[in-house]
Amino acid sequence: MSCTCFIVPADVLRKLAQDKKLSARIRDGAENTAKVSTEVRKLRTQAAALTSAANPMGIAPMALAKSPAITVYDCKQQQNLPGSPIAKPANSSDATAKRTYKETKAVATFYKNVFKRNSIDNAGMTMMSSIHYGRNYDNAMWNGSQMLYGDGDNQLFVDFTLGNDVIGHELTHGVTQHSLQLGYSGDAGGLNESLSDCFGSMFRQWQAKQSVTSADWLIGADIIGPAAKKKGYTCLRDMANPAAPQPTNYSQLNPGTDPHYASGPPNLAFCAACKAVGGRSWEKVGQIWYRALTGFGPSPNMSMKDFAKRTRQLAAQMYNATVAAAVDKAWKQVGL
């Protein structure tokens, strides 16, 4: 499980909040951050306890919880989390805030309607995002409790919230944290990244009502900036054709490989299985991957081989020999 610590401990924040030598703005910021950090810690502890208690029994606590609240904070180009709360992000004049709210809500709907999951933890956890993180910040991430999105430098990347697959990707890191609890190195790290790409791409396809043949299978196509486009770059990763920058076969991975590199083979396997089965990605193969992710409790060090084995078994149990053969062939294609 991703263990996340806040950068500034709560006691330090409280001392800063009372330091008369600091400006009122900084003191208020420290006080607000301390309050929010405390609540987020409580929330995270509760969520982890609930996941741990429910998983061994196969109980989905979603029925007990209402739909998740969606909150958006503005970092105002600073790197202090969570930033200032945006009161009504759905109606904000800030397009990034409005989009973040709308797309986060859509991801919640996607998980609820397609996979019967209630939010990140399947127990209605608040979906919290911070936007305008850092100055010209070329990244988006899940920090263990929330999403954060940079505005990009407007050369290589534009606003990261412009990618609905990016938002789906980041939220899926949270889902993984509250289910399989994969680590972030080796095979487990590559699987962790791949699952975020798979569900991020599925979310994008689901929103566009695309079939596996009409989908482009690109990750990050909507956040590529003008300078990168000018040089011919179209995306961060191509799940259908990971080669350059990613490997296409498991044999090409080495210990210590970064998760964003190691995700190439499982991404290709998912895409190949979807294309072989046909229809829409979330209807069959997506259901198999979701069950493999959420149906067996934590397995932080899971190997790609074991994940592949699990999806092969699930394909046969949940569907039929044709689907099972498609999944098997897809994994073999990438050396697993």
As beta bridge partners, residue 73 has 85, 130
To other proteins, the closest distance from the beta carbon of 233 in angstroms equals 6
Which of 226, 245, 279, 300 is the binder for other proteins (CB under 8 A)?
245
To other proteins, the closest distance from the beta carbon of 198 in angstroms equals 14
Backbone angles phi, psi at 243, to 5 degrees: -50, 135
Please report the beta strands in the chain, taking only residues with DSSP state E, as ranges in sequence order.
70-74, 84-85, 127-131, 140-142, 147-149, 218-219, 237-238
Q: Which is catalytic among the residues 103, 132, 169, 170?
A: 170
267 binds other proteins (CB under 8 A): no
82 binds other proteins (CB under 8 A): no
Is 218 in a helix, a strand, or coil? strand
Calpha distance 87→106 (Å, rounded) = 19
2 binds other proteins (CB under 8 A): yes
The Cα angle at residue 329 between residues 323 and 335, in degrees rounded to 5? 145
240 binds other proteins (CB under 8 A): no
Backbone angles phi, psi at 6, to 5 degrees: -75, 150
Q: Which residues in 98-137 contact other proteins (CB under 8 A)?
A: none
Among 263, 283, 265, CA closest to 274: 283
Long-range contacts (CB closer than 8 Å, 24 or more residues apart) made by 34-38: 34/10, 36/82, 37/6, 37/10, 37/13, 38/10
For residues 138 and 283, which CB has a smaller minimum distance to other proteins in the complex? Answer: 138
Which of 77, 84, 233, 295 is the binder for other proteins (CB under 8 A)?
233
Contact 256, 185 (CB under 8 A): yes
258 binds other proteins (CB under 8 A): yes
For residues 131 and 315, which CB has a smaller minimum distance to other proteins in the complex? Answer: 131
For this structure, is 170 an active site residue? Answer: yes
For this structure, is 31 an active site residue? Answer: no
To other proteins, the closest distance from the beta carbon of 192 in angstroms equals 6
227 binds other proteins (CB under 8 A): yes
To other proteins, the closest distance from the beta carbon of 123 in angstroms equals 20
Handedness of CA 50, 53, 58, 64 (dihedral sign): negative
Q: Which residues in 139-178 contact other proteins (CB under 8 A)?
A: 139-144, 153, 156-157, 160, 166, 169-170, 173, 176-177
- For tokens 């259901």, the residue is 287
- Site track 179-208 with other proteins (rule: CB under 8 A), x = hit: -----x-------xx--x------------
- Edge-first strand order for the sheet with 70-74 is 84-85, 70-74, 127-131, 147-149, 140-142
First CA to last CA across the chain, in angstroms? 25
Calpha distance 129→290 (Å, rounded) = 23
Piece of the chain touching other proteins by CB under 8 A; list 29-37, 58-66, 243-251, 307-315: 243-251
Piece of the chain touching other proteins by CB under 8 A; list 61-69, 97-105, 229-237, 324-332: 229-237
Piece of the chain touching other proteins by CB under 8 A; list 83-91, 239-247, 305-313, 325-333: 239-247
217 binds other proteins (CB under 8 A): no
Contact 81, 143 (CB under 8 A): yes
To other proteins, the closest distance from the beta carbon of 176 in angstroms equals 8
77 binds other proteins (CB under 8 A): no
Contact 124, 66 (CB under 8 A): yes
CB-based burial label for 127 (10 Å; 0-12, 13-18, 19+) = buried
301 binds other proteins (CB under 8 A): no
- For tokens 């409005």, the residue is 98
State the residues that interact with other proteins by CB under 8 A.
Answer: 2-5, 7, 79, 138-144, 153, 156-157, 160, 166, 169-170, 173, 176-177, 184, 192-193, 196, 220, 227-228, 231, 233, 236-237, 244-246, 258-261
